[in-house]
Amino acid sequence: GESVGLHLPTLSVQEGDNSIINCAYSNSASDYFIWYKQESGKGPQFIIDIRSNMDKRQGQRVTVLLNKTVKHLSLQIAATQPGDSAVYFCAEKGADENQGGKLIFGQGTELSVKP
């Protein structure tokens, strides 16, 4: 769905703890999902992606979980570090060719890591 409002959901964690950032997507026909990290004044940075034929995918310190039944996506960050502080966006891409190549972004979550 489209982002609304100017107030981002926030998540505050202690350094070293695990973080879980959640995202609800809108289109049950979407077949590809992706997470980005965006620091202030910078462009979104690719973190990890997952196709709809998978439930879980792991990267370095990050795991993405996909629950198609409830249209829910989550990003888990292990041993969160101060450098992880940023806004995190999930995005989806439809399987329908008529939707072209565009990503549809969800509302971001601001992650704050306390040292």
Partner 1 sequence: DTGVSQDPRHKITKRGQNVTFRCDPISEHNRLYWYRQTLGQGPEFLTYFQNEAQLEKSRLLSDRFSAERPKGSFSTLEIQRTEQGDSAMYLCASSPRGGRPQYFGPGTRLLVL
Give contact residues for partner 1 (rule: CB under 8 A). 2-3, 5-8, 32, 34, 36, 41-46, 49, 89, 91, 93, 100-108
| Shorter beta-carbon distance to partner 1: residue 79 or 83 | 83
Task: Quote the least distance from Cβ 30 to partner 1, whole Å.
Answer: 13
Task: Give the max Cα distance, the chain.
Answer: 46
Task: Quote the least distance from Cβ 18 to partner 1, whole Å.
Answer: 24
| Shorter beta-carbon distance to partner 1: residue 2 or 70 | 2
DSSP secondary structure, 18-81, as one string: -EEEEEE-S-TTEEEEEEEEE-TTS--EEEEEEETT-SEEE-SSEEEEEETTTTEEEEEESS--
Helix (H, G, I), strand (E, B) or coil at 87: strand
Task: Quote the least distance from Cβ 76 to partner 1, whole Å.
Answer: 19
